[in-house]
Every structure is written in C-alpha cells, then in structure tokens.
Structure 1
C-alpha cells in the first residue's frame, strides 16, 4: 500500500489536487446507478430493457439519463444497428474495464463491511 501511495500521491502532498481527483472520480462513477449499470453490462446485458430488468428500482428515465452520461464519459459504447427495427446495444469500453479492479475491491469491502456489521465487532 505504501509503494502505491508514493506512486500516486505527490511529494510534498497536494491536498487540493487529491480532493479534486477524488471528486472527479466520484463524479464519473458515483451515484446510485452507475456501478450497477456497469455491472449489468459486464454481466452480458446489452439491450436497454435487459439492463433495466437487471437493476431493481431503476426507472426508464433514470437509466436513459445515466447511459447518456456514461457514454459521454467514455465508459460505455452505444452501438446502433441500422436494420429495421433499430437495435441498440451497449457495451463497456476498455476505459471502463480499466477500473474493474476498483469495482472488485469495492465488492469485497462491501461484503466484509456487511459481515462486520452483522457480527457487531
């Protein structure tokens, strides 16, 4: 962890730069729906309705808005098949996969946290 910290953090530390980087990351992947959407797409759901059905509680309007924002941030790719009727599919970009290890760590931490809370220590 110390070696990774030295590679990422400036010396001397620049708190404003670190906070800005955290805010940028949270802006791009934060919120209630972005990570579940990425997880759904990475689990093979490519069509809008497949993604929608795989995420309990998300509305059509919210999914549409999030997908557009994620496309602008180059996390997903929207591919439109010109055949009639139009078929639209979504896929994760290589850029999206670049933070896959972070998602795995978050899942691991979330499981451990839940267990810690249940055990009460």
Structure 2
C-alpha cells in the first residue's frame, strides 16, 4: 500500500523569506498555543467529562496547582477550555473542553503518529 506524500503549500525555494515566514504564522500560533508540558495532558484529562480543579490535578501526575491554574487560564483564553462557576456555597467550578477544542483531535493523532515514527528513527522503539 503506497502512502500519499503530503507537501507544504509553501516551497521555501520558491518564495521570499518574509513571504514564507508570514505563511507559517498559523503554524507558529498553533505550536505556541499547545506548547509546554501540560496543555495536552489537561485537554486529555477533560476529554471524557467536565471536571473540577482538584480532579484535573489528580489526573495529571506532577503538575502543581499554580501551573494548572496558569495553563487552564491560557487554554480558556484560547477557547479550548470553558470554565463554569456554579452559584453555590462553597463555589463550585468545573472545566470542560469546548467544541473548538474538538478540532484538535486529528492534530493530536497526527502528532502521536509522527512522534511514534520519530521515536523509532531516533531510539529504535
């Protein structure tokens, strides 16, 4: 079975450096939004249902409360996570993935596939 080779719409040999860099801005944006150690694990922790802060913290081994709070705020700003505050005492807050975050499923799977190939190439596993 032959694999279809995909090419970037931008050929660095055929465009001026400024044009090429401008065309890659969406890629840089995406990498910046998802960069870091914790954003993808947070999205995965929220994939099955909305969760409270401590539930997310328990699901992600090694993350501090301060870092979780920061990353949740970043994900909320980028409309990948929503925060719902209930009018109760004590206040109840739940976090969930947004519809927009579901558009990342294919991206995450493609990164997983590439990461698997890369691991085999580099360390043979």
Aligned residues: 115
Equivalent residue, structure 1, for 2:70: 65
**Runs of 5+ unmatched residues, structure 1:** none
Contact 1:71 1:77 in 2 (8 A): yes
Q: For the residues of structure 1 that align with 2:120 and 2:86, how far apart are their CA atoms?
A: 45
Choose which of 87, 110, 120 in structure 1 pairs with 2:115. Answer: 110
CA positional deviation for 1:19: 3.2
Equivalent residue, structure 2, for 1:32: 37
**Runs of 5+ unmatched residues, structure 2:** 1-5
- Judging by fraction of residues, say which structure has more helix: 1
Equivalent residue, structure 2, for 1:53: 58
Instruction: Report the RMSD for the aligned CA atoms in angstroms.
Output: 2.2
Hey, which bits of structure 1, 4+ residues long, moved more than 6 A?
none
Contact 1:52 1:58 in 2 (8 A): yes
CA positional deviation for 1:64: 0.2
Equivalent residue, structure 2, for 1:83: 88
The one-character-per-residue Cα deviations of 1:13-69 (angstroms, maximum 9, x if unpaired) are 531213322221112111111111111111336111111111111100000011011
Equivalent residue, structure 2, for 1:99: 104
Normalising by structure 2, we get a TM-score of 0.78
Normalising by structure 1, we get a TM-score of 0.80
